[in-house]
Amino acid sequence: MYNVGYRIVNNEDEAHDVLQEAFISAFNNLDSYRQESSFGSWLKRIVVNKAINYLHKRKTERFPDDDKWDVKQEQEVDPFEAYPFTVEKVRSAIESLPDGYRTVLSLYLLEGYDHGEISEILNITESTSKSQFNRSKKKLKELLEQK
């Protein structure tokens, strides 16, 4: 669960705070757990929500100015095509992504949420989630090629 929070807030201390808040919230709301999904999924959703709340508290821009990256939405980019990367290099590049890009990329690739779920979690449209995901892949590729 720590890794889930860390991937979103990108800060060890804040990830610990997120995890602590999530466990407190889960404990205080155990009676609301309806067993429609596994307990782990329920807890993971709480961690994701708390991490996103932390991003909001930081008052940082959730999603960078779209004009800044100038990427066409329909352009498909595979950042892993024919590039030998170390795990550390990829991890570092993901951590350096802007908050909004890193959040969507982490939720989609690492946590397994689909764009519909991401749109609900982040309170954005599904097309925005897809667009941010494509932009994050493009930016990730650029970062990996630089290092």
CATH number at residue 22: 1.10.1740.10
Question: Domain range for residue 28?
Answer: 1-60
Same domain? For 53 and 77 the reply is no
Are both 15 and 84 inside the same structural domain?
Answer: no
pLDDT the model gives residue 74: 54
- Same domain? For 97 and 127 the reply is yes
Q: pLDDT (tens digit, 9 = 90+) per residue, 42-56?
A: 888 889 888 888 888
Secondary structure of the chain in the HEC alphabet? CHHHHHHHHCCHHHHHHHHHHHHHHHHHCHHHCCCCCCHHHHHHHHHHHHHHHHHHHHCCCCCCCHHHHCCCCCCCCCCCCCCCCCHHHHHHHHHCCCHHHHHHHHHHHHCCCCHHHHHHHHCCCHHHHHHHHHHHHHHHHHHHHHC
Q: Are residues 32 and 102 in the same domain?
A: no
Domain edge (last residue) among 60, 81, 105? 60
pLDDT at residue 135 greater than cutoff 90: yes
- List pLDDT tens digits, range 9-40: 888 999 999 999 998 988 888 888 787 778 88
**Per-residue model confidence (pLDDT) at position 147:** 55
pTM above 0.75, yes or no: no
